[in-house]
Structure 1
Amino acid sequence: MANPQRGEVEARFDGECKTLCLTLGALAELEGRLQTGDLVGLAERFSGGRISARDLTAILGAGLRGAGNAISDDDLARMSIEGGLKGAAEIAATLLRVTFGETA
């Protein structure tokens, strides 16, 4: 079971419950993948309220890998996410909130 106090979120991918967590390594992966340079740049990128499908894939993929799930972004892009696009956006938003100190 996910622990929001540790920055963990639970979500269903292809009908299977998985834990996501943006560990320090996962955040470093996101910085590099999205070319934000640092955590402030990462926060600024997402604070504007605009997010691309590529951003969602990067956030969810990094979160899944951060929690120990061996999955590529290509595999993730082909998976069914509970709630569809809206569900994916909600998972990403919750993951960012718990990572940066606000519990869901």
Structure 2
Amino acid sequence: MANPWRGEVEITLDGVAHRARLTLGALAELEAELDTGAMVDLAARFEAGRFSAADVIAVVVAGLRGGGWTGDRAALLAADVAGGPIGAAQAAAQLLARAFAVPG
């Protein structure tokens, strides 16, 4: 079970639940991959509903890797994500929200 106090979000891939979280290292990788300039800009895009599928994939991969998953973008693209694209987008939004706010 994911611990929101640690910024964790549960993401199920191919029927297996994984803990995901945006650690400092995961955030740095995410910034470099998306070339957003600031994570606040990415979070604002999610908040406004102006995110792309590439944004969702990048955030989910970063979160899964921050949680200890050893896969990569190609592995995520080949996986069955619980909830489909909507579930992935919701998980990405939760990861960003939990990385920058205290739950509650």
Does the TM-score normalized on the shorter chain lie above 0.5? yes
Deviation for aligned residue 1:60: 0.3
Q: Residue 50 of structure 1 aligns with which residue?
A: 50
Per-residue CA deviation, residues 29-73 of structure 1 (Å, 9 max, x unaligned), is: 111000012333333443432111111110000000001110111
Q: 2:18 is paired with a residue of what secondary structure?
A: strand
Name the counterpart of 2:90. Answer: 90
Q: Report the count of equivalent residues.
A: 104
- Give the superposed CA RMSD: 1.6
Aligned positions of 1:12-91 closer than 5 A: 12-91=12-91
CA distance in 2, matches of 1:50, 1:102: 24
* % identity of equivalent residues: 50
Deviation at 1:102, TM superposition (A): 4.6
Deviations 1:65-89 (A, max 9, x none): 0011101111101110111111111
* Long gaps (5+) in structure 2: none
Q: How many Å separate the matches in 2 of 1:102 and 1:84? A: 27
| Residue type of the alignment partner of 1:77 | L
- 1:3 aligned partner: 3
TM-score by length of 1: 0.90
Q: Distance in 1 between matches of 2:27 and 2:53?
A: 18
